[in-house]
Amino acid sequence: MTRSLHLAVSAYGVGGPGQHGLWKDPRVPKNASIDIQHYIRQAQIAEQALFDAFFIVDSQFITPDYPSHYLNRLEPLTLLSAVATHTSRIGLVATASSTYNSPFNLARRFASLDLISQGRAAWNVVTSFDTGTSRNYGLDEHLDYATRYGRALEAVQVVRGLWDSYEDDAFADPERFLDATKLHTLNHHGEHFDVAGPLNISRSPQGQPVIFQAGVSEEGRNLAAQVAEGIYAPGGSLTEAQAYFQDIKRRAAALGRDPEHVLIFTGASPVVASTDEAAHRRSREIYDEDNDFDRKLGFLGRSFGAYDFSQHDLDAPFPDVAHLSEKGGRTSGAAIVERAASEGLTLRQVVDTLTSYQPSPFTGDPSTVADAIEHWFTAEAADGLNLRFRALEDLERFAADVVPLLQQRGLFRKEYEHETLRGHLGLPIPENRYAL
């Protein structure tokens, strides 16, 4: 088999989207989202299981109705810098907005994490979903889709240029501290940024941090095809995941990129138990634990600029709010509006329909879960999975019971063969543009 399965773990502390009751779980400390030891332990368990990466999501706007983890959490790069000193192999993926950061700061912070971790850093490029973020940065309005994605593409190009400021042997001469001929200014002048450079930090053992991206809109898919080396895909059904997989690979190939260097990680929340019956029973219990209608109603507003749906009659037709998604969650908002209109749904029915019980396809005893992972991988629905677990013991169970089965089937590594995240993912080290 030429392809190898990749595994990442996404840490959500006291509960991310759809996990509205997780903070009540006695296995989860109520301060988990701000407890660095909780994150370190998760990363260490995942590293012991030979996972590729440890992923931290982020956003910079909240309302009280947002998921518990969103309300009180650590900044990703600060968090992962601490995790880096307690791990040695697992990749460290931090989310940072290209809309609300300057390329120079992004380049410097990620290059620092890359050196601290000795070549294990990655940037998950986002354009910021929440329209309210603008008001936290002195702007009256959130930028529109075209501007945000144009800015994101240019930001990645600038950041990559800054990461090449020093050639790899710029400090190698024993007779002088720096060979100044191997330090390069960028002098970028673009539509969104003017950045002189150079960056005051050298490259790491993996050359440059890996670029991750997540998005399902047309603009998001185009950005992924142009710059992403890893993609966090939304999941859905097997057929939907296969369609997304093929679409992204096709777009990348059309741009002259090697599709094998664009790795798709599908989101998944496994439920593993001693038997299939016990796993499905536990899956239903999890749904019931999280089935808080008021919080689900509140979170529905996120796709519409944090709109407050509680002001509407729950049993009246779904309100006309399509325009509110134009600068925020346009793809998800449009899908919600279209479904409500085509099926004649009330507001209550929209909430119930969107959050109805849907067991994870990765639910069952260890063998059943391994079967499902193998099927999704071999059916080219994913290059890997971005896994979300409710508690540390759920991650531990997956690592102890499912990972060995994947190894026995030749799908997953039995030891780390590389020191860097690029090595784990089978990605080439980018050559310094000035050394060509």
pLDDT tens, position by position, 82-138: 999 999 999 999 999 999 999 999 999 999 999 999 999 999 999 987 888 888 899
Q: How far apart are CA 70 and CA 391, in angstroms?
A: 17
Backbone φ and ψ for 209, nearest 5 degrees, come out as -55, 150
Q: What is the pLDDT of residue 130?
A: 80
Q: Sorting pLDDT into bands at 50, 70 and 90, what band is 327?
A: low
Say if residues 10 and 388 touch (Cβ distance below 8 Å). yes
Least trusted range by pLDDT, from 16-20, 146-150, 304-308, 415-419: 304-308
Q: How confident is the model at residue 295 (pLDDT cuts 50, 70, 90)?
A: confident
Using CA atoms, how far apart are residues 354 and 376, in angstroms rounded to an integer?
24
Mean pLDDT for 406-421 is: 98
Does residue 330 register a pLDDT over 50? yes
Mean pLDDT over the full length of the chain: 94
Which residues line the annotated binding site for FMN? 58, 95, 149, 217
- Could you tell me where in the chain the CATH 3.20.20.30 domains are found? 6-276+361-425
> What pLDDT, on a 0 to 100 scale, did the predictor assign at position 328?
60
Task: Indicate whether 215 pLDDT > 80.
Answer: no
- The contacts of residue 352 (CB under 8 Å, 6+ apart) are none
H-run or E-run covering 153: helix 145-163
The answer to whether the CB of 351 falls within 8 A of the CB of 291 is no
| Reported confidence tier of residue 347, pLDDT bands at 50, 70, 90 | very high
Tens digit of each residue's pLDDT (9 = 90 or more) over 37-66: 999 999 999 999 999 999 999 989 998 888
pLDDT surpasses 90 at 216: no
C-alpha to C-alpha distance for 224 and 227, rounded to whole angstroms: 6
Please enumerate, by residue number, every residue annotated as part of a binding site.
58, 95, 149, 217
Tens-place pLDDT, residues 223-253: 999 999 999 998 889 999 999 999 999 999 9
Q: CA 425, CA 327: separation in Å to the nearest integer? A: 34
Specify whether the CB–CB gap between 233 and 124 falls below 8 A: no
**40 Cβ partners below 8 Å, 6+ apart?**
82, 83, 86, 87
Distance from C-alpha of 316 to C-alpha of 13, rounded to nearest angstrom = 36
Q: Give every CB contact of residue 400 below 8 A, 6+ residues apart in sequence.
A: none
- Residue 1 is predicted with a pLDDT of 47
Given a cut of 70, whether residue 164 has pLDDT beyond it is yes
> Residues 6 or more apart from 104 whose CB is under 8 A from it?
158, 162, 195, 197, 199
Cα-Cα-Cα-Cα dihedral sign, residues 411, 412, 415, 416: positive
The pairing of strands 194-195 and 188-189 is antiparallel
Looking at residue 190, what is its pLDDT? 97
Q: How many residues does the chain have?
A: 436
Are 28 and 68 in contact by the 8 Å Cβ rule? The answer is no
CA separation for the pair 208, 362 (Å, rounded): 34
- 51 in Cβ contact with 71 (< 8 Å): no
Please report the sign of the dihedral spanned by the C-alpha atoms of residue 37, residue 42, residue 43, residue 48: positive
User: Is 188:158 a contact under the CB 8 Å cutoff?
Assistant: yes
CA distance 404 to 128: 38
Q: What is d(CA 63, CA 17) in angstroms, rounded to the nearest whole number?
A: 14
Confidence band of 333 (pLDDT split at 50, 70, 90): confident
Query: What would the pLDDT profile of 175-189 be if each residue is shown by its tens digit?
Result: 999 999 999 999 999
Question: Structurally, what CATH architecture does the domain formed by 6-276+361-425 represent?
Answer: Alpha-Beta Barrel (3.20)
d(CA 101, CA 156): 12
- Under DSSP, is residue 126 helix (H, G, I), strand (E, B) or coil? strand
What's the pTM value of the predicted model, to 2 decimals? 0.94
| pLDDT tens per residue across span 195-205 | 999 999 999 99
